[in-house]
């Protein structure tokens, strides 16, 4: 039993960090310690939310399953699964709720194949005493229920296309009901939206739950990592998998929309689509801990999307087509009054040149793992190399997707260098046609431009733009991508400058300072979790392993009790901010853990080429206490 804590709300909302995530490779849900599902889109991540009380506690809709008079609770995952347990105590009893979005029996999560049953199982067990269990199934926009032979059929005014049914081991009088239970009683509900017949008899609801547990644990056996923060790394891997669209290899950065970067602010974005950059980060991390099939699945998906659209875009729907235009929802008040709530994302219309490098680097990693890049695949990759050579000088919106005029961002140029370098290596390795010499010359030109034009001698750092500007933590990614060695004097100076001047305190970093690097959005920005892991990597590759390890431990300690991380953290309160949980934060946790583990062991040969670059043999071989 986990340590129980009182339920804490502010303005009628639970803290973002007080939620667990469940998923089935098609969609996901947030579950609070009060037994409320406050976020769930069906049938997919990018569908409209059926429940979204996290964005408006009065009008968003919820699915609550909890005892009356709840006083304290705790949450935990069943080991190596995406199945969540919430334990709740009242004055008179103690109940346990197990939640899962169920998976097909025998499903192999390493395959690009649907695994979801299209159903949510909620199982209640009374462990001690007596409880009055309250059930509330309240979809957004209102609903009506009619009794059927096995439970309820729900008609949603806002979702007429959904075929929603609820089966229950106790009779439900409607969408809201109460049930007195005592020690030893078990009560379950099964919410289905996939249509068709009910395949599970009420007495056998344990079967799909156990099958789901078994599927997760078979997949988790492939995770290969025994370094520092082993449990956190494994949980991060499972979290990344929960954000994977199993059917085709697409990956969403986060399952939510409009959770704010500032309480009461307007930095509220929809992240339920497939960003090329974030997905590439994710497969990079998963591959480093033995999960290689996810890398191949994403590469195939993104190349199909590029071919379908004619050129690489920043983000796509899960089907690999253009994401919808951004719009504001006037009916929802936002998390703790943080308006507007947005659906769609304007970044889908932006130009960001880093996508060339993300895709080519994925292909290169796949090749480095022993896979063949055949002529057909190369025919789809080669135009991206040429596009990088043509566009690296041109301004864009870059990694942070600013909403100001295009500028010549250092990070974008660096990722064009990655595309040129990886393209040359792939072509040479397999004898494919292409201007290998010209690409290598262009890659050298880009690197020289970064070291000369982005360098600001007054600030003593590589800056945000090739034309100068202020500091940008994204520059810390250059050694990770083998653009500039970690121990290059200008990179070491940049690391020190970023650590000092973008510090948010206690190991946290701002990605940039909006008052010095305007991004076109009003309001303040919080500390960005991924940047701290980038700093860990730079310190490690500069031979400062003790400093890097200490920072890694501090950042890992920022996870919530379930091992989950947000996009951003309020440096004053430590509160989670932004869409949650965030893939790239977990990418950083995994990748930095692998780097530290291999460097402490002196296993330089196990590091990717990008990680090895810039490390002398002595630095790479230093060992910890």
The percentage of residues in the chain with a pLDDT greater than 90, rounded to a whole number, is: 85
pLDDT above 90 for 309: no
pLDDT above 50 for 612: no
Three-class secondary structure of residue 325 per DSSP: coil
Question: What's residue 502's pLDDT?
Answer: 98
Residues 476, 477, 478: CA angle, nearest 5 degrees: 95
The two three-digit tokens of residue 552, written as one number? 């890694």
The two three-digit tokens of residue 423, written as one number? 């393209």
User: Which range has the worst mean pLDDT, 190-199, 227-236, 256-265, 415-424?
Assistant: 190-199
Backbone phi, then psi, for 302, in 5-degree steps?
A: -70, -35
116 pLDDT band, cuts 50/70/90, is very high
Name, in order, each residue with C-beta under 8 angstroms of 368's C-beta and a sequence gap of 6 or more.
608, 609
Backbone phi, then psi, for 370, in 5-degree steps?
A: 105, 5
620 neighbors 599 (Cβ within 8 angstroms): yes
Give the integer Cα–Cα distance in Å for 33 and 70: 10
135 neighbors 177 (Cβ within 8 angstroms): yes
pLDDT above 50 for 625: no
Number of neighbours of residue 94 by Cβ within 10 angstroms: 21
156 neighbors 50 (Cβ within 8 angstroms): yes
The two three-digit tokens of residue 14, written as one number? 């639970």
Report DSSP letters for 545-584, one per residue.
HHHHHHHHHHHHTTS-TTS---SEE-TTT--EESSSS-HH
The two three-digit tokens of residue 275, written as one number? 């960003």
605 pLDDT band, cuts 50/70/90, is low
The two three-digit tokens of residue 284, written as one number? 């990079």
Give the integer Cα–Cα distance in Å for 40 and 162: 14
Residue 409 is given by DSSP the state B
pLDDT above 80 for 621: no
Question: What's residue 606's pLDDT?
Answer: 60
pLDDT above 60 for 615: no
Mean pLDDT of 239-264: 96
How many helices and strands in the chain, by DSSP H and E? 14, 26
pLDDT above 90 for 310: no
Question: What's residue 115's pLDDT?
Answer: 97
Name, in order, each residue with C-beta under 8 angstroms of 334's C-beta and a sequence gap of 6 or more.
55, 56, 258, 260, 268, 340, 341
For the segment 399-458, what is each residue's pLDDT rounded down to a tens digit?
A: 999 999 999 999 999 999 999 999 999 999 999 999 999 999 999 999 999 999 999 999
In DSSP terms, which residues pair with 568 in a beta bridge? 528, 577
Question: What's residue 616's pLDDT?
Answer: 35
In DSSP terms, which residues pair with 192 in a beta bridge? 119, 165
For the segment 368-398, what is each residue's pLDDT rounded down to a tens digit?
A: 888 899 999 999 999 999 999 999 999 999 9
Three-class secondary structure of residue 391 per DSSP: helix
Nearest to 480 by CA among 537, 426, 528, 424: 537
Nearest to 385 by CA among 428, 346, 349, 344: 428
For the segment 441-487, what is each residue's pLDDT rounded down to a tens digit?
A: 999 999 999 999 999 999 999 999 998 899 999 999 999 999 999 99
Give the integer Cα–Cα distance in Å for 611 and 399: 21
Question: What's residue 49's pLDDT?
Answer: 98
- Sign of the Cα torsion 385, 390, 395, 396 reads negative
The two three-digit tokens of residue 613, written as one number? 């670059």
19 neighbors 32 (Cβ within 8 angstroms): yes
Question: What's residue 610's pLDDT?
Answer: 43
For the segment 175-210, what is each residue's pLDDT rounded down to a tens digit?
A: 999 999 999 999 999 999 976 544 444 446 789 999
Give the integer Cα–Cα distance in Å for 404 and 245: 32
Mean pLDDT of 257-273: 97
Three-class secondary structure of residue 316 per DSSP: strand
| Mean pLDDT computed over every residue of the chain | 93
451-475 CB burial, b ≥16 within 10 A, e <16: bebbbbeebebbbbbbeebbbbbbb
For the segment 17-70, what is each residue's pLDDT rounded down to a tens digit?
A: 999 999 999 999 999 999 999 999 999 999 999 999 999 999 999 999 999 999
Helix or strand run (H / E) with residue 122: strand 116-138
509 neighbors 445 (Cβ within 8 angstroms): no
Nearest to 66 by CA among 161, 134, 153: 134
Helix or strand run (H / E) with residue 406: none
Number of neighbours of residue 302 by Cβ within 10 angstroms: 28
In DSSP terms, which residues pair with 188 in a beta bridge? 123
Question: What's residue 298's pLDDT?
Answer: 85
For the segment 119-157, what is each residue's pLDDT rounded down to a tens digit?
A: 999 999 999 999 999 999 999 999 999 988 778 999 999
Mean pLDDT of 99-124: 96
For the segment 81-97, what is each residue's pLDDT rounded down to a tens digit?
A: 999 999 999 999 999 99
Three-class secondary structure of residue 171 per DSSP: coil
Nearest to 171 by CA among 199, 190, 152: 152
In DSSP terms, which residues pair with 409 in a beta bridge? 465
Residue 543 is given by DSSP the state T
Nearest to 449 by CA among 468, 430, 433, 431: 468
Question: pTM value?
Answer: 0.95
Name, in order, each residue with C-beta under 8 angstroms of 363's C-beta and a sequence gap of 6 or more.
299, 373, 377, 381, 422, 426
């Amino acid at each position: 039993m986990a340590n129980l804590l009182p339920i804490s709300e502010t303005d009628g909302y639970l803290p973002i960090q007080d939620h667990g995530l469940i998923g089935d490779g098609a969609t996901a849900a947030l579950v609070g310690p009060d037994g409320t599902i406050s976020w769930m889109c069906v049938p997919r991540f990018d569908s409209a939310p059926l429940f979204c009380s996290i964005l408006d506690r009065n009008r968003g809709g919820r699915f609550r399953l909890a005892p009356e008079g709840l006083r304290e609770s705790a949450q935990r995952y069943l080991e190596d699964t995406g199945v969540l347990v919430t334990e709740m105590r009242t004055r008179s009893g103690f109940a346990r709720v197990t939640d899962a979005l169920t998976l097909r029996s025998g499903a192999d999560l390493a395959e690009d194949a649907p695994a979801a049953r299209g159903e949510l199982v909620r199982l209640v067990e009374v462990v001690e005493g007596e409880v009055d269990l309250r059930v509330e199934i309240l979809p957004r926009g209102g609903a009506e229920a009619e009794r059927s032979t096995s439970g309820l059929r729900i008609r949603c005014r806002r979702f007429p296309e959904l075929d929603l049914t609820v089966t229950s081991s106790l009779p439900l009088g409607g969408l809201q009901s109460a049930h007195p239970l005592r020690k030893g009683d078990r009560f379950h509900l099964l919410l289905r939206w996939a249509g068709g017949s009910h395949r599970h008899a009420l007495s056998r609801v344990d079967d799909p739950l156990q099958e789901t547990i078994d599927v997760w644990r078979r997949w988790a056996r492939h995770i290969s990592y025994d370094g520092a923060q082993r449990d956190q790394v494994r949980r991060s891997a499972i979290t990344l998998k929960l954000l994977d669209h199993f059917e085709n290899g697409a990956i969403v950065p986060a399952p939510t929309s409009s959770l704010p970067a500032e309480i009461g602010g307007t930095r509220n974005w929809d992240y339920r689509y497939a960003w090329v950059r974030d997905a590439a980060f994710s497969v990079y991390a998963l591959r480093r801990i033995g999960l290689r099939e996810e890398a191949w699945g994403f590469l195939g998906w993104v190349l199909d999307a590029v071919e379908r659209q004619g050129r690489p875009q920043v983000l796509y729907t899960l089907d690999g087509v253009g994401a919808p235009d951004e719009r504001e929802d006037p009916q929802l008040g936002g998390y703790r009054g943080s308006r507007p709530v947005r659906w769609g994302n304007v970044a889908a219309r932006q130009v960001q040149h880093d996508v060339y490098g993300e895709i080519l680097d994925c292909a290169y990693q796949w090749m480095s793992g022993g896979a063949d890049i055949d002529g057909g695949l190369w025919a789809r990759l080669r135009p991206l190399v040429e596009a990088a050579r043509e566009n690296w000088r041109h301004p864009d919106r870059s990694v942070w997707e600013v909403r100001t005029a295009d500028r010549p961002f250092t990070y974008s140029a660096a990722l064009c260098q990655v595309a040129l370098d990886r393209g040359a290596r792939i072509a040479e390795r397999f004898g494919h046609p292409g201007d290998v010499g010209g690409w290598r010359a262009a890659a050298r030109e880009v690197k020289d431009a970064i070291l000369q034009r982005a360098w600001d001698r007054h600030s003593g750092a590589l800056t945000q733009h090739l034309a100068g500007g202020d500091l940008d933590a994204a520059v810390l990614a250059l050694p990770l991508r083998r653009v500039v060695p970690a121990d290059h004097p200008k990179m070491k100076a940049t690391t020190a400058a970023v650590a000092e001047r973008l510090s948010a305190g206690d190991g946290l970093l701002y990605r940039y300072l909006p008052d010095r690097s305007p991004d076109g959005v009003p309001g303040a920005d919080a500390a960005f979790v991924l940047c701290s892991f980038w700093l860990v990597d730079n310190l490690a590759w500069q031979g400062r392993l003790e400093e890097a390890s200490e920072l890694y431990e501090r950042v890992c300690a920022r996870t919530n009790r379930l091992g989950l991380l947000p996009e951003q953290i309020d440096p004053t309160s430590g509160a989670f901010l932004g869409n949650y949980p965030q893939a790239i934060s977990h990418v950083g946790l995994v990748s930095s853990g692998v780097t530290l583990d291999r460097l402490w062991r002196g296993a330089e040969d196990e590091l990717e080429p990008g990680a090895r670059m810039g490390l002398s043999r002595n630095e790479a071989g230093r060992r910890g206490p």
